């Protein structure tokens, strides 16, 4: 997806927001999957690698959340209301 600077009021078409929300779901699923593997793996080196990857997924989650907030005024308002 490319960001089109011609969006009025920084509002993205709903299809863009839908794709970003699906990406957000994917990041959450990846975090849970890596955590499950971390919890069951016995090898210390493998655990450290998976923890690093899991933490990268958490960063992606934050980046996507920030982008959605920027492109969806209603979502931004809800975050603000909750102090996020």
Instruction: Please report the pLDDT score of residue 59 as a whole number.
Output: 98
pTM of the entire predicted model: 0.79
Q: pLDDT of 20-64, one tens digit each?
A: 999 999 999 999 999 999 999 999 999 999 999 999 999 999 999
CA neighbours closer than 13 Å in the CB half-sphere of residue 84: 11
**Averaged pLDDT for residues 10-26:** 88
Q: Give dist(CA 19, CA 25) in Å, integer.
A: 10
Cβ contact 70:8 at 8 Å: no
Q: Is 10 helix (H, G, I), strand (E, B) or coil?
A: helix
């Amino acid at each position: 997806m490319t960001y089109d600077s011609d969006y009025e009021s920084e509002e993205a078409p709903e299809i863009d927001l839908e794709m970003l929300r699906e990406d957000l779901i994917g990041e959450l699923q990846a975090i849970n999957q890596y955590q499950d593997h971390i919890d069951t793996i016995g090898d210390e080196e493998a655990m450290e690698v998976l923890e690093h990857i899991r933490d990268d997924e958490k960063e992606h989650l934050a980046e996507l959340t920030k982008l959605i907030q920027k492109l969806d005024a209603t979502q931004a308002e809800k975050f603000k209301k909750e102090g996020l």
